[in-house]
Structure 1
Amino acid sequence: MPQPPAPPVLEGVEWIRPRPTRRQLRNDLLLALVLAAGAAASIVLYRATGYNADGPWWASFLWAVAMTLPLALRRRFPEIVAVVASAAFMTGAVLYVSEALFSNIALFIAIYTVGAWGRSRRRAFVVRLVIVIAMFSWLLWGLIFFSTVQDVLPELPRDGFLSPYLAYGLVNVLTNLLYFGGAWYFGDASYRSARERAALEQRTAELAAERERSRRQAVALERVRIARELHDVVAHHVSVIGVQAGAARRVLSSNPEAATDALSAIETSSREAVTELHALLGTLRADGEPEPTASILGIEQIARLAAEATAAGLPTAFAVVGEPRPAPTLVEASAYRVAQEALTNVRKHAGAAATADVRIRWTAERLELEVTNTGIVRRSVTDAAETAGLGVVGMRERVAATGGELEIGPRARGGYLVRAAFPLQSDGRAPAVNGDAR
């Protein structure tokens, strides 16, 4: 039978040792039988030497049973077993039916078990204290009483400051101090060891659970990252392909040259989509820690996005303000994806007459990306984007991952605004997301 789970170790709360297992109970039964057999054999030898030979045989063997067999239940009822063993020990000595070897071993084990397995520490302390006081009171009373009986140990004179009999008594007191002190100390040490082992097992289980939670979170985050990458790649290029395909269909008969240009744009966008999808799938199949697929895309490619948008029928202006500076890879990739998603949304929702403006602003501490358009803002589209659109959610997550700020929404003078500010170095501030447009 497996060990039952240990109760949790809580600060300021008394720990309770779990109940013994069946294997431990079987071991206790075996120990009790071995000690009983040893005590019976020892009684035979002691009586053969004449020690405690006055009492009847049956009383000696009954005493051996009372002294040893209760140890089979020592871990389940440690206090009761200790009291029974102590009473049997004293009774056997008074009736001269005891032996001095296995009885001392059994009594030591019983007192030790109270400290090691007592489920209430206060009760364990009180029981052991009562046993020790009773034993020492009995010992001292016997030494004092027999000091006046000359027939007991006549070879030890009682005269003098440190008489032989007094020295004999002091040796007995010292021996019992070591005996009971050892049983008390080692019992408490075993209890402390079990409590520390339970605390270690609890911490190990908590760490294992934390590792499992971290693993699940990592998997979930990776799935979100992959979904975001797939959305950015597919939505952008499919949007461009759709616009160019519509343009080619309209001018196919009247202007074959324009239709050819539109089909060329479709071919280029399709190849770029396939290239990015291959790169993304390559990171999923790579061994070790894969590099993000967007790491090959950065701020320098935003100008190309503006040119592609213009070629797809959305006039898009592009400007850079300030001196470009080195930016972290995550900031570069996030800025590119935000610009890509913003232009894709313009093509989807702003209408045929819309124009767009992409502006990159470099400052000493951060990079600002601003994408605006002059199209028509439909409130239903805005609400859907704010509540359920994967593109807007992806932009928020990308900006938040860099510790930046995102401002997104309709402009007061018409059109739509997406403004993202990325820190060029971490300043320890929490990321912020603002839904109001200026």
Structure 2
Amino acid sequence: MRVARLVSAAWQWGSRLPPLVCDSLLPTLLLVNVTTTRPLHELPVATTLTAALVLPLLWRRRAPLMVFGMVTAAAFVQWLMDVQLLADIALLIALYTVAASSGRRGTLAAGAIVEAGVLLACLRWAVEEAFPTTFVAATAMVIASAALGVNVRTKGVCLEALEERAARLERERDQQARLAVAEERTRITREMHDIVTHNLSVMVALTDAAVYAQHRSPDKATTAMLQISETGRQALTDMRRSLGILRTDEPDAERHPLPGIAQLAALTEQMCAAGLPTRLEVHGEHTHIPATAQLTVYRLVQEALTNALKHTPSGTHAQVHVRCSTEAVTVHVIDNGPGTTLPGTTPSGHGIPGMRERAVAYGGELRAGPLPGGGWEIHTRLDLDNGGEVTT
């Protein structure tokens, strides 16, 4: 255990050093060893061969294949000169570097070259009785060096893949965040458009009626002014509710639930007071329909009636048909005004595109256009499970 801790500490200490410093430690130690242990008459040859074996290791990270070639060439010259050196360990380091930086073919080729050198060295220098043991031990070191290099390369590839995946996930997260922000802006813009356009249109119509009736029928003018006040307060409530969803500390969002199918009756009464007689028919039970789907139905009807109020002459009547089932909600709004004057025929309008966006969110397709005999029609079918085929 103590040796393992010392080795671990030494490895951590070495990992903090610059690569060139780490690569120069072994060549320095081997050169010091050969100069201090060899006899004087062997020193020039031994030092030269040791330098040829270990000095190329300084560049092994930059050019592993070239360094491996230089080390194997020096080892072959050493074998030809029949000089045994401790610096032969450089072959294992060069093989490890090739395995850590090259593919399978490069590793196998380098391993085969080193194994051939092991065989030649054992044939020349191993004692005959100890040849098998020496050869097996040297081969095991070759295999261990190659396996260690392959393991390092595999870890590096895995780490690179993980880093790339993390970077890709971060980009996707940022992209999704931008899309969510854009979608939320679109939702708020659409909601504000529906609230402001509808309530202002009603208030303008009621104001015109009050001005017209203030001398002939003061009671009706007073009633219209009260309805204007109520419409303004309702608009403020709707705006607080829509903006309050964005704030967790906003109490109005909880005090005032989102409008739904149950509030369509009040909406049609408001439109009747503003000068657009409207008849509402709701078929089927709507209590099981999600609140967001009910809000979509409410906004679709609100926008359709607001368009009819703004762009049709007095005397126009509207009809609203809502059919609820467990699978879908069908919304059908028609009026008997001149259909060619309704919005949606001009590309600058936001009402019809906003209605289409609301319908698409529930797998629906909005049909908006003039009727053959006159008037205007809005029709869509919202799939509550988003799983059926849209039929309009």
TM superposition score normalised by structure 2: 0.87
- Give yes or no for contact 1:85–1:107 (8 Å, CA) kept in 2: yes
Tell me if the contact between 2:79 and 2:121 (Cα under 8 Å) persists in the aligned partners: no
The 3 A distance-change label for structure 1 pair 291 and 83 is farther
**2-side partners of 1:295 and 1:265: how far apart?**
22
Q: Which residue of 1 aligns with 2:8?
A: none
The whole-number CA distance in structure 2 between the counterparts of 1:198 and 1:394 is 45
Q: Does 1:126 align with 2:126?
A: no
CA offset at residue 273 of structure 1? 0.6
Kindly indicate whether residue 92 of structure 2 is the aligned counterpart of residue 108 of structure 1.
yes
Distance 2:256 2:364 in 1: 18
For 1:183 and 1:409, locate their aligned partners in 2 and report how far apart those are by CA, in whole Å: 78
Residue-by-residue CA offset, 1:147-196 (whole Å, 9 max, x unaligned):
xxxxxxxxxxxxxxxxxx54311111111111111111111111111111
1:125 is paired with a residue whose SS is helix
Instruction: For 2:314 and 2:342, locate their aligned partners in 1 and report how far apart those are by CA, in whole Å.
Output: 18
- Asked if 1 retains the 8 angstrom alpha-carbon contact of 2:336 and 2:374, the reply is yes
CA–CA distance in structure 2, aligned partners of residues 362 and 32 of structure 1? 78
Structure 2 equivalent of residue 6 of structure 1: none
Instruction: Note if 1:193 corresponds to 2:193.
Output: no
- 8 Å CA contact 1:29, 1:71 repeated in 2: no
Cα offset for 1:38?
1.0
Query: How far does residue 210 in structure 1 lie from its aligned partner after superposition?
Result: 0.9
Task: Quote how far apart the aligned CAs of 1:379 are.
Answer: 5.8
Q: Which runs of 4+ in 1 moved over 6 A?
A: 290-294
Residue 334 of structure 1: how far off its partner (Å): 0.5
Work out whether residues 28 and 71 of structure 1, in 8 Å CA contact, stay in contact via their aligned partners in 2.
no
Deviation per CA, 1:196-253: give whole Å up to 9, x if none.
1111111111111111111111101100110011011101100001111111222223
- Choose the corresponding residue for 2:377, options 403, 417, 420: 417
- Distance in 2 of aligned mates of 1:117 and 1:330: 57
Structure 2 counterparts to residues 38-437 of structure 1, below 5 A: 38-47=29-38, 53=39, 55-95=41-81, 98-100=84-86, 103-118=87-102, 121-133=104-116, 135-139=117-121, 141-142=123-124, 165-286=127-248, 296-378=258-340, 381-384=343-346, 387-423=347-383, 425-426=384-385, 428-429=387-388
- Tell me how far apart the structure 1 counterparts of residues 308 and 130 of structure 2 sit (CA, whole Å): 105
The farther-off stretch of 28-37 and 245-254 is 28-37
Deviation larger for 351-360 or 400-409: 400-409
Contact kept in structure 1, 2:342 and 2:376, CA below 8 Å: no
2:313 is paired with a residue whose SS is coil
Q: Which moved more, 1:198-207 or 1:123-132?
A: 123-132
Q: Which has the higher contact order (CA 8 A, sep 6+)?
A: 1
Q: Is the 8 A contact 1:74 1:113 kept in 2?
A: yes
Q: Which amino acid aligns with 1:40?
A: L
Q: CA deviation at 1:140?
A: 5.0
- State the Cα distance separating 1:91 from its structure 2 match: 2.9
Is contact 2:344–2:351 with CA below 8 Å preserved after alignment? no
User: Any conservation in 2 of the 1:55–1:97 contact (CA below 8 Å)?
Assistant: no
Using the TM superposition, give the Cα deviation of residue 287 of structure 1 relative to its aligned residue in structure 2, in angstroms.
6.4
Q: Say if 2:311 and 2:342, in contact at 8 Å, map to a contact too.
A: no
Letter in 2 for 1:131: V
Aligned with 1:106: secondary structure? helix
Change in CA separation of 1:178 and 1:324 when aligned onto 2, cut-off 3 Å: closer
Q: Deviations over 1:101-150 (max 9, x none)?
A: xx1432211110011023x55344323323322x044135426xx8xxxx
Unpaired runs of at least 5, structure 2: 1-14
Cα distance change of structure 1 residues 44 and 278 upon mapping to structure 2, 3 Å threshold: same
Kept in 2, the 8 Å contact 1:361–1:368? The answer is yes
SS at 1:239 equivalent = helix
Q: 1:260 to 1:360 in 2, by over 3 A?
A: same
Deviations 1:2-50 (A, max 9, x none): xxxxxxxxxxxxxxxxxxxxxx9x8443234322321122214432xxx
Question: Larger deviation: 170-179 or 275-284?
Answer: 275-284
1 CA distance for matches of 2:166 and 2:345? Answer: 47
Q: CA deviation at 1:340?
A: 0.5
Tell me which residue corresponds to 2:4. none
2:267 aligns to what SS in structure 1?
helix
Amino acid at match of 1:408: A
Name the CA shift for 1:99/1:140 in 2 (closer, same or farther; >3 Å).
closer
Superposed displacement of residue 431, structure 1:
5.2
Q: CA RMSD in A?
A: 2.8
Residues 43, 98 of structure 1: 8 Å contact kept: no
**8 Å contact 1:248–1:260 — kept in the other structure?**
yes
Equivalent in 9, 14, 21 of residue 30 of structure 1: 21
Q: For 1:361, what is the secondary structure of its paired residue?
A: strand
Q: Which runs of 5+ in 1 are unaligned?
A: 1-23, 48-52, 147-164
Aligned length in residues? 377
Cα distance change on mapping 1:265 and 1:279 into 2, 3 Å = same
Opposite residue 204 of structure 2, the aligned amino acid is G
Opposite residue 31 of structure 2, the aligned amino acid is A
Q: Secondary structure at the match of 1:66?
A: helix
